[in-house]
Amino acid sequence: MKRSSIEFGKILALSAIVWVSIGAGMEFYNVAWGTGKAIGQFSPRWFLLFISYSLLISTAISGIWLVLFRRDHLDSLVEKIIPLRNRFPALNWLIAFALLIFPFLFLQRTMWGIVFHGVYFRLFLWVFTTFLISFFLTRSNALIDWKPFLTTLILTASIFTIAISLQDVTSYPFSLGWSEGNRLWDYSTRFGRDRYGVGEDQDIYVLLDTGRLLVGGIPFLIPNVTIEVVRLWVGLTLILPYFLVGLAAYIVAEKNTRIWMLLILWVFLFLRQGPIHTPLVLAAALTIFAWRKPFWLAIPIVIYAGLFAQASRFTWLFAPGLWIGMLELAGASTPDGKPDRTHWVRAITLGLAGAFGGFLLPKIMPLIRLALSALSPAEAASAPQAAAPITTIDVTEQITETGLTPDFVEYAVTDQQLLWYRLLPNPTFGPGILLGLVIAVLPVLLFLFWLLASKKWKLNLWQNLAVWGPLLAFLAVGLVASTKIGGGGDLHNMDMFLIGLAFTVFIAWMNGGRDVVLKNEMPVWVRVVLVLALVIPAFVPLMELRSNEYGSEMKTILLLTDQTDAKPFDMLPNDEAVSTALTEIQEAVDEFEPNGEVLFMDQRQLLAFGDIHVSQFVTEYEKKVLMNEALSSNYEYYSNFYRDITNQRFSLIVTEILRTPLKDSAYEFGEENNAWVDWVSIPVLCYYQEIQTYKDVNVMLLVPKPVPDDCSQYIPPRK
């Protein structure tokens, strides 16, 4: 039975490789065909390249077939190759390193990553380099060993994911996405507000949690920091915090440095599938660092983790307490694997410490601040009270000031529409939240369940409850959060669940999983599951690797891809277009600013990095805040906005290109588009008119209409 399953596995593996190879050959053919007329529609060079590529594919398939089914025919060759390989270990490492970075360099640092965008070509490139690297890393008398193969998969997958995290590191001054530029401005308001002439006592409404604002704002401590450096920092925050989680975990669980480093990379790969916002990742790192530490150290760490998580997002307030309880109880290390009195005491004490930091401490802190305040009643009465419209930011910050309340929970759940269809496949997120989550976590869950079923990892009733109870709670919260309008575009709202599942893997690794994986004591299907657990997180990054800085080669790219429209390639505009846009925007600011205030509704990073200068900075009506209040139908907030545009307060508005078509759920973020159109685009374009649009950089300049229309019919009614 075992032999037949192995043979079936070989047939399945060869079939998959043949399928991918043929698909890759067809994709290469489609690129090469149409390049000339020398041989059919091949140019001489591309004909030779296609023939060489076809021979490479044929040789690879033949070699794999021989290794799998006719190994005896290769014995004499293998007997010569393996000693030769093992004789030069330093050279092997050099070759392996070159092969490791080749796919990244080829796809992201050259024009060919734009041309060779097909799934099969990229998979073939990954498979081919993976087997070659595994061969050069193997030190035994085998062609490829299990551990070098797993090592190679982790390394290649990590390279792809790291490269994607740093893909937006560029000096391009305009926004790289819908909110990317304004998000950089958000970060500057923490430590760089002096560049806007805004007083310390003047509020700037920023749609960003405290933790992300703090982490993202660190680069602005550097005088005259550039946008490229800030984007590099933002990219690093998508890498380093995940490393800290793995570091904190395996510094307890694993003493072998090489394995320890590889496991850190796996944590990074698994959690980046969210992706998960940095503050929660840091809270997770603090939590797992407290695992098994003495009470005098663990308790304050867990309290702070709860406080930090809650200050960043109220739905996270109980996460550190539940995580540490899971780790301490289910991760008990005793001869029989069952928790004793000490483990119960630690789990309950630290769990309550986390709950105290996330739930009770935020309620106590205002009272402490009040008691310590030296402000006299007379001074308090004379202190300026700024009248500002209520925003969802104000309500969100209520949790930090007064703690969680039933009214706040009700508001948080009901203030915006829930789009339950986004749990299923939809245009906003192709697979849908449910299927996307299943794809992301199923291999890990299958491996964990196999460990439990085979008794290689043992949990009693209370330990099972400690693991699966919090995971189910995190799952429920994440699914609801993912359906809120404005969300559901990825798995980032499944953050607590993904981290909890990663912690479950830590527990399993320490209690039987390590020996099973390293000694390869698994059936074939479990090994396939482990491979999928590494391949799946890296699949999307592999598909997205490309450069957007080859606009000058667009003619060649269009020829090789058989396309006629350059727009889908989303190339950055050339330096001349960027320079012209910046110059003319500054000229418009200088021309219209004497007539009134200039509102940068979008592209505020131009002010943050000094590309554009204004005399008086308008803090209100930032793009993301407007969108968030539109999603909440917050007429209280918008009444001020409509008053200002009706009175034509702004002599110039700098915004993204405003469009008015309405869409439905058949379009990506259709409901969000409609909210923006109804609450922003239509009213603004009724009172203001376009004077210039820069399509290349997605900027529109608007000025007041000389004779405003009667726009009352376009103002959304109070509900």
Please report, for residues 249, 251, 512, the alpha-carbon distance to residue 337 in angstroms, rounded to integers and kept in the order given: 19, 21, 10
Whether residue 569 is found in the same domain as residue 473: no
- Tell which phi-psi region holds residue 539, choosing left (phi > 0), alpha (psi between -120 and 50) or beta: alpha
In a domain, 152, yes or no: no
Pull the structure tokens for residue 503.
Answer: 């912690």
Lowest mean pLDDT among 34-38, 455-459, 669-673: 34-38
Buried b (16+ CB within 10 A) or exposed e, 50-67: beebeeebeebbeebeeb
DSSP 634-695: -HHHHHHHHHHHHTT-EEEEEESPP------TTSTTHHHHHHHIIIIIHHHHHHEEEEEEET
Closest CA to 116 of 127, 103, 129, 128: 103
Q: Does a cis peptide bond (omega within 30 degrees of 0) precede residue 275? A: yes
- Which of residues 144, 165, 183 is at a domain's end? 144
Amino acid of residue 61: I
Share of the chain above pLDDT 90, in %: 50
**Could you tell me if 392 and 626 are in contact, meaning their C-beta atoms sit under 8 angstroms apart?**
no
Whether residue 317 is found in the same domain as residue 198: no
Has residue 382 got a pLDDT over 50? Answer: no
In a domain, 641, yes or no: yes
Q: Give the list of residues 6+ apart from residue 323 with CB closer than 8 angstroms, or none.
A: 284, 287, 288, 354, 470, 499, 500, 503
R_g over Cα of the chain? 29
Whether residue 634 is found in the same domain as residue 715: yes
In a domain, 551, yes or no: no
pLDDT band at 411 (very low <50, low <70, confident <90, very high): low
Q: Report how far Cα 706 is from the mean position of its chain's Cα atoms.
A: 45
Whether residue 296 is found in the same domain as residue 445: yes
Pull the structure tokens for residue 16.
Answer: 């998959």
pLDDT in tens, 244-266: 988 887 776 666 777 888 889 99
pLDDT in tens, 86-126: 888 889 899 999 999 999 999 999 999 999 999 999 999 99
Q: Report how far Cα 588 is from the mean position of its chain's Cα atoms.
A: 36
In a domain, 204, yes or no: yes
Whether residue 476 is found in the same domain as residue 600: no
Q: How far apart are CA 417 and CA 672, in angstroms?
A: 10
Pull the structure tokens for residue 87.
Answer: 């004789």
Can you give the pTM of this predicted structure? 0.90
Region 577-598: mean pLDDT is: 94
Structural domain span for residue 632? 174-216+556-719
Region 404-423: mean pLDDT is: 69
Residues paired with residue 701 on neighbouring β-strands, in sequence order: 654, 692
Whether residue 201 is found in the same domain as residue 254: no
Whether residue 320 is found in the same domain as residue 201: no
Has residue 327 got a pLDDT over 50? Answer: yes
Whether residue 10 is found in the same domain as residue 102: yes
Region 621-638: mean pLDDT is: 92
**Could you tell me if 545 and 108 are in contact, meaning their C-beta atoms sit under 8 angstroms apart?**
yes
Closest CA to 542 of 70, 20, 180: 20
pLDDT in tens, 328-378: 998 876 666 677 888 899 999 999 999 999 888 888 877 776 666 655 454
Q: Give the list of residues 6+ apart from residue 276 with CB closer than 8 angstroms, or none.
A: 492, 495, 498, 499
**Could you tell me if 487 and 259 are in contact, meaning their C-beta atoms sit under 8 angstroms apart?**
no
Whether residue 135 is found in the same domain as residue 196: no
In a domain, 229, yes or no: no
Pull the structure tokens for residue 142.
Answer: 């085998």
Whether residue 489 is found in the same domain as residue 613: no
How many domains in the chain? 3
Pull the structure tokens for residue 690.
Answer: 């376009």
In a domain, 157, yes or no: no
Whether residue 459 is found in the same domain as residue 392: yes
Mean pLDDT, the chain, whole residue set: 86
Whether residue 364 is found in the same domain as residue 504: yes
In a domain, 156, yes or no: no
In a domain, 149, yes or no: no
Residue carrying the six token digits 């009175």: 647
Share of the chain above pLDDT 70, in %: 90
Q: What is the DSSP letter of 360?
A: I
pLDDT in tens, 552-571: 788 888 888 888 878 888 88
